[in-house]
Structure 1
Amino acid sequence: MVNDQNSFLPKVSVVIPIYNGEADLPDLINCLLSQTYPKEQVEYLLVDNHSCDRTLAILKATAENSAINLQPLSENQIQSSYAARNTGIRAANSEIIAFTDADCRPQPQWLHSLIQPFVNPEVVIVAGEILALPGDSLLEQFAEQQETLSQKHTLNHKFCPYGQTANLAIHRHVFNTSGLFRPHLTTGGDADICWRILKADLGRLEFAPDAIVQHRHRQTLQELSSQWRRYGRSNRYLHDLHGVDLMPEMKGQEYLYRWLRWLLKEVPQASWQAIAHQGSWVDLFTTPIGLYTARERSLGQRTAQLPEQAKIIDWL
C-alpha cells in the first residue's frame, strides 16, 4: 500500500469514556465535528460510565441530530474508565480503535495524523502528542513549562515505552492475543495494555507528533495532589503487575537541602531574571511545586495496594 495520506483512510472507531462530563461535552463534540478525517469513515463511541449528571441524556439528544456518526453507550457495572473503554472496543466496527478523553480537545488534524502510521502493517500502537490548553494560573503555567502531560515522558519510560489513552490508537486484532484493558484497574491501564502488547511482540509502537490533543492542566493544589497521588498509585500497581521499579522516595536530608538551595540560591536568581525580563515568575516556584508533587507521588505509591480484582484482564 502506498504511504499516501489521501489514499490510506481506513475506517476508525473513536472510543471516549465519560464520567460526569456534562460541562466538557459541547467543546468535545465541536472538536469531533471539526475533524478533517472523512466523516463516513469514523464512528464515535462515547461511553457514559454511570454519570450522576446529564451526560447520557445529552449524548442521546446530540446523537439524534449529529452530522457525525456519534453513538452513545453505557457502562454501568464497573466504575472505571478502562471498563468503559472495553465497552467501546466491543461495540466498535473498525479495525483501528482510537482513544481520547472527555476533557481533551482533539485538534482538527488529530485523527488524520494519528492513523497514518498504521499504513505500515508492523505498527499496532500509535501515540499522539498531548499539549496544554491555555491556562493563566501558576500551577497551569508550571505544568505547561514541565510538559507534565507530554507523551515524551511515557515514550521514554525506562521499563518499556507506552502511550497515554488521552491520545492513543491500537489495531484491534492485537486484543485477541493481549486481551483488553483490566476493567477494575483505576490507574496505569494505558501502560499495562501497551506493555502486554509490546512484550508479546505483537507489533511496534510509533509516535505521531502532529496528532495533537490539548488537555487542561490542574488549577488547584487539591487537583494537583490528586493527580500526583494517582501517579504514585500507578507506580505501585505497575510494580505489582509487571515488576517495574518503584520510584525512589526523597529522604529528609535531601528535602532540607533542596529547600535551602531554593531559598538561598534559586529565589534571588529567579527573582532577578524575572525583574530583568530574562525569565518567568513561574521559575521562582519550580522547586517548591516540584517538591510538593514528589511528596504526593511518594504518598500515593506508599499507601497504594493493588486489589485482586484489578489483576483480571477482559477479553473480546
Structure 2
Amino acid sequence: MELLREEPSFDQYPRVGVVIPILNGAADLPELLSCLSQQTYPRERIQYVLIDNRSGDRTPDLLQTAAMQFQSLGLTLRPLTVSDIQSAYAARNAGIVAALSGDTPCEIIAFTDVDCRPNPDWLRNLVQPFAEPQVGLVAGEVLPLKPATWLERYAARREFLSQRHTLAHRFLPYGQTANLAVRRSPLEAVGLFRPYLTSGGDADLCWRILQTGQWELRLAEGAIARHRHRATLPALWKQWQRYGRSDAHLHELHGSALMRSLTWQDAATRLARWLLKELPIVAPHAIRRQEPWDRLLDTLLDLFCAAARSWGQRRSPFPEAARAIAWLPDGTRVNSPHQ
C-alpha cells in the first residue's frame, strides 16, 4: 500500500474504518458526529462504525438517525449493537470485524471515543505515516478541550491523556484508543482486544504487536483529538483508580514490574517540598493574579491522583477470563488464552 505525500487522487487513499464504542453517549454524540462529518479524508474511503454497548439512554435511536443523515452526505455510518459483554474492548472488536469484512474491507482501523472531538484533518494526518510499510500503529495526539473548571485547568497543565506519556512508557510505548490507528495485518497476526479486560487493553494490543518485532509505532502530531478532562474530584479519583487497575492487569499479563505504588515516605517528601519550596514561590504570583490560584494545589492533586492509582492497583483482582484474545472470524483461533 503506497500513499503519496502530495495531494493524491482519491483512489490512492487506503480504506479506513473508524471504530467508536459508545455507552450512554447521547449527550456527546451530536458534537462527535459533527466532527466526523467534517473530516477532510475522502468520504468514499471512510466507514464509520459506531457500537452501542448496552446504553440506557437515547444512544441507539441517535445512531439510527445519524446513519440516515450521513448517507445523505455521502458518508457511511454503520450502527452496531454489542449486548453480550459490556466492555469497550468487546465493542471495538465487533467494530473491527465489521470494518474488515464485506465487499470493500478496510485496510486501516482508527479508534477514538464518543467524548473526543477530532480536528477536521485528524484522519488524514493519522493515516499518513502508514505510507511506510513497517508502520503498524500510529498514535495521534490527545489535547484538552478549553478548560472550564479549576480541575480541568490542573489536568491541562499536567497534560493528562497526552500520548507523549504513553509513548514514553518504561516497558514499551503504546497509544491510547482515544486516538490510535492500526494496520490490518498486525491484527491478523496477534489478534484483537481481550474482550473481558476492563482496563489497559490499548497498551496490551500495542505491546503484543510491537513484541513481534515486525512493526513500528509512530506519533502523528498533527492528528489531534480533543478531550474534556474530569471536572470533579470523584471523577478524577475514578479515572486514576482505573489507571491503577490497568497497571495491575498489565502486570499480570506481561510479567513486568509495571506498578509503582505511592508510599507514605514519598507522600511526606512531596508534601514537605510543597510547603517549603513550591508554595513560597507560587503564592506571591497567585496573590498578584499572575498565576491562577489553583496552581497552589497542583502538588496536592498530584498526590490525590497517585493515591487513587495505588488504590486501584491494590484492589484490582485479575479476571481469568481477561486472558482470552479475540481473533478475526477467519483466523485459526478465537478467544485464545495466548498471553
Cα deviation code 1:68-92 (max 9, x no counterpart)? 2111011111110000000000000
Residue matched to 1:31: 35
Percent identity, aligned pairs only, is 52
Residue matched to 2:242: 230
Q: Which range is displaced more, 23-32 or 279-288?
A: 279-288
- Name the CA distance, whole Å, in 2 between partners of 1:65 and 1:216: 26
CA drift at 1:2? 6.0
- Name the CA distance, whole Å, in 2 between partners of 1:104 and 1:228: 19
**Alpha carbon RMSD of aligned pairs, Å?**
1.3
Any idea what SS the aligned residue of 2:125 has?
Answer: helix
CA drift at 1:197? 0.5
Any idea what SS the aligned residue of 2:54 has?
Answer: coil
> After superposition, where does 1:257-276 map in structure 2 within 5 Å?
257-276=269-288
> After superposition, where does 1:170-181 map in structure 2 within 5 Å?
170-181=182-193
- Name the CA distance, whole Å, in 1 between partners of 2:209 and 2:111: 16
For structure 1, list consecutive stretches of 5 or more residues without a partner in the other structure: none
Which of these residues, 210, 214, 218, is aligned with residue 198 of structure 1? 210
CA drift at 1:11? 1.1
Residue matched to 2:88: 81
- Are residue 6 (structure 1) and residue 7 (structure 2) matched? yes
Cα deviation code 1:258-280 (max 9, x no counterpart)? 22332343223211122345533
- Name the CA distance, whole Å, in 1 between partners of 2:265 and 2:223: 43
Q: Which range is displaced more, 290-299 or 59-68?
A: 59-68
Amino acid at match of 1:182: R
Residue matched to 2:336: none
Q: Would you say the 8 A contact 1:236–1:301 is kept in 2?
A: yes
Q: Would you say the 8 A contact 2:3–2:128 is kept in 1?
A: no
CA drift at 1:38? 0.9
Distance 1:246 1:123, change over 3 A: closer
Amino acid at match of 1:76: S
Report how many residues are paired.
316
- Name the CA distance, whole Å, in 2 between partners of 1:257 and 1:208: 38
Which of these residues, 43, 51, 56, is aligned with residue 52 of structure 1? 56
Q: Which range is displaced more, 282-291 or 218-227?
A: 282-291
CA drift at 1:171? 0.5
CA drift at 1:96? 0.5
Runs (4 or more) in structure 1 with deviation over 6 Å come to none
Amino acid at match of 1:20: N
> After superposition, where does 1:1-316 map in structure 2 within 5 Å?
1=2, 3-7=4-8, 8-66=12-70, 67=73, 68-92=75-99, 93-316=105-328
- Name the CA distance, whole Å, in 2 between partners of 1:183 and 1:239: 18
Q: Would you say the 8 A contact 1:5–1:116 is kept in 2?
A: no
TM-score (norm 2): 0.90
TM-score (norm 1): 0.97
CA drift at 1:137? 1.0
Residue matched to 2:332: none
Cα deviation code 1:150-177 (max 9, x no counterpart)? 0000001111111000000001121111
For structure 2, list consecutive stretches of 5 or more residues without a partner in the other structure: 100-104, 329-339
